[in-house]
């Protein structure tokens, strides 16, 4: 346990670890609670490295392989640290036919990263998503929680400038 905690403290603050433990404690006796625990943990810790997964496995009394399997199965979970801002380009069909592809290409060029990667300065994490359900506004780019609709390649730069 001690080792595990040390491992965690390399990457997270004691407050964060305490919060993680609180989440585990809350769900401990509930069957099928692994995914909600991971979701809440990721909100607190931003990402779920192996050390966190081990803590959760022990806490919920599950094999580590089970936790690892779930983390890698669902696209919502990430094992690597993220940028300060997350850019998600919608590549749902509606956005795709309305030019989402060009936006994605433009972003890759501007940021110099591929899908799923974080810029070197950790300013942006760039992801693509499958339909955010805001098809009326396609093409859509979501930066953090702000939905930017009717996006155009020419408008991108200006929009990014608002996220430092």
Partner 1 sequence: MAKLTIEDLKKIKERVMAETSLREGQKRVKVTVHMGTCGIASGAKEVLDALMREIEESGATDIMVTTSGCMGLCSREPLVTVEIAGQEPIKYEYMNPNKMRQVFKRHILAGEIQTPFVLARGAEKTK
Partner 2 sequence: MKVFRSHILICGGTGCHASGSLEVKKALLAELDKRKIAEEIKVVETGCNGFCAMGPIMVVYPEGIMYTLVKPSDIPELVEEHLVKGRVLERLLYREPSTEKTIPTMQEIPFFAHQELVVLRNRGLIDPEKIDEYIARDGYQGMAKALTEMTPEQIINEIMASGLRGRGGAGFPTGLKWKFAASSPGDVKYVICNADEGDPGAFMDRSVLEADPHAVLEGMVIAAKAIGSHQGYIYCRAEYPLAIHRLTVAIAQAKEYGLLGKDILGTGFDFDLEIYQGAGAFVCGEETALMTSIEGKRGMPRPRPPFPAVAGLWQKPSILNNVETFANVPQIILRGADWFASIGTERSKGTKVFALTGDVNNVGLVEVPMGTTLGTIVYDIGGGIPKGKKFKAAQLGGPSGGCIPIQHLNVPIDYENVTELGAIMGSGGLIVMNEDTCAVDMARFFMEFCQDESCGKCTPCREGTKRMLEILNNITQGKGKEGDIELLEELAKIIKDASLCGLGQTAPNPVLSTIRYFREEYEEHIRDHKCRAAVCSALFKSPCQHTCPIGMDIPSYITLIRVGRLEDAYKVLLKTNPFPSVCGRVCDHKCQSKCRRGKLDEAIAIKYLKRYITDNAPRPPVAPVPVTRKEKIAVIGAGPAGLTAAYDLSRRGYKVTVYEELPEPGGMLRWAIPAYRLPREVLAREIDAIRATGVEIRCNTKVGKDVSFEKLSTDYDYIYIATGAHKSQRMNIEGEDLNGVYGSVEFLRDFNLNEEAWVKGKKQLGKKVVVIGGGNSAIDSARVALRLGAEVTILYRRERQDMPAAPEEIKAAEEEGVKIEFLVAPVKIIGQDGKVSAIVCQKMSLGDFDSSGRRRPVPIKGSEYTLPVDAVISAISQTPDLSFIPKESGVSINRWECVDLAPGSRSRTHNARIYAGGDVVTGPDTVIAAIAAGHQAAKDIDEAIRLANGEPPYEEPPEEKIEVPLIIDEETVESPQAAMPELHGAERILSFAEVELGFTKDEAYREACRCLRCDAEI
CA distance 87 to 13: 26
Residue 80 Ramachandran class (φ > 0 left, ψ -120 to 50 alpha, else beta):
beta
35 makes contact with partner 2 (CB under 8 A): yes
149 makes contact with partner 1 (CB under 8 A): yes
Q: Applying CB under 8 A, which of residues 8, 17, 38, 160 lies at the interface with partner 2?
A: 38
Sign of CA dihedral 162, 85, 26, 21: negative
CA distance 77 to 35: 10
* Binding letters toward partner 2, positions 94-123, x by CB under 8 A: x-xxxx--x---------------------
Report whether 4 contacts 55 (CB < 8 A): yes
When the beta carbons of 85 and 98 are compared against partner 1, the nearer one is 98
34 makes contact with partner 2 (CB under 8 A): yes
CA distance 60 to 43: 18
When the beta carbons of 31 and 133 are compared against partner 1, the nearer one is 133
Report whether 4 contacts 58 (CB < 8 A): yes
147 makes contact with partner 2 (CB under 8 A): no
CA distance 57 to 62: 5
From 10-18, 29-37, 48-56, 131-139, span contacting partner 1 (CB under 8 A): 131-139
Minimum Å gap between C-beta 88 and partner 1 is 13
Site of interaction with partner 2 (CB under 8 A): 31-36, 38-39, 66, 69-70, 73-77, 91-94, 96-99, 102, 129-136, 138, 145, 152-154
């Amino acid at each position: 346990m001690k080792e595990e905690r040390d491992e965690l403290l390399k990457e997270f603050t004691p407050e964060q670890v305490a919060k993680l433990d609180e989440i585990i404690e809350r769900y401990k006796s509930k069957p099928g609670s692994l995914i909600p625990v991971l979701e809440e943990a990721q909100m607190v810790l931003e990402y779920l490295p192996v050390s966190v997964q081990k803590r959760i496995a022990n806490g919920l009394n599950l094999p580590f392989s089970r936790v690892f399997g779930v983390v890698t199965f669902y696209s919502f979970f990430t094992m690597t640290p993220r940028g300060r801002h997350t850019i998600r380009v919608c590549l749902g069909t509606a956005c795709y036919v309305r030019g989402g592809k060009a936006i994605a290409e433009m972003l890759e060029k501007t940021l110099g990263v591929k899908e799923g990667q974080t810029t070197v300065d950790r300013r942006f994490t760039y992801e693509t998503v499958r339909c955010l359900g805001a098809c009326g506004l396609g093409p859509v780019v979501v930066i953090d929680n702000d939905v930017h609709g009717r996006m155009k390649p020419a408008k991108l730069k200006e929009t990014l400038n608002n996220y430092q």
